[in-house]
Amino acid sequence: MDPQDMFNMGGLRKKMPVTFWTFLSRRPRAIGFPVDHRRFWSKDEILGDAFAHNQIVFWVLRCRRS
């Protein structure tokens, strides 16, 4: 059995079903599909809201941004 062969990879659903379903349920959000709008915020939205409401928080966040 070659560990680098793609045909030998897989089987997560049978070996670890809870992990499989957890990863599967998060897949749409990972690819950017807006399943749940409440939990997805971009850095720009966070910085924009901080700029509009609290300048000190904005500058602290902006300085920490890499």
pLDDT digit string, tens, across residues 35-56: 555 555 677 788 888 889 988 8
Residue 7 is predicted with a pLDDT of 81
Measure the CA dihedral 21/36/42/54, to 10°.
-130
Look at 40 and 2; give whichever has higher pLDDT: 2
Dist CA 66 CA 63 (whole Å):
8
Name the pTM for this structure. 0.38
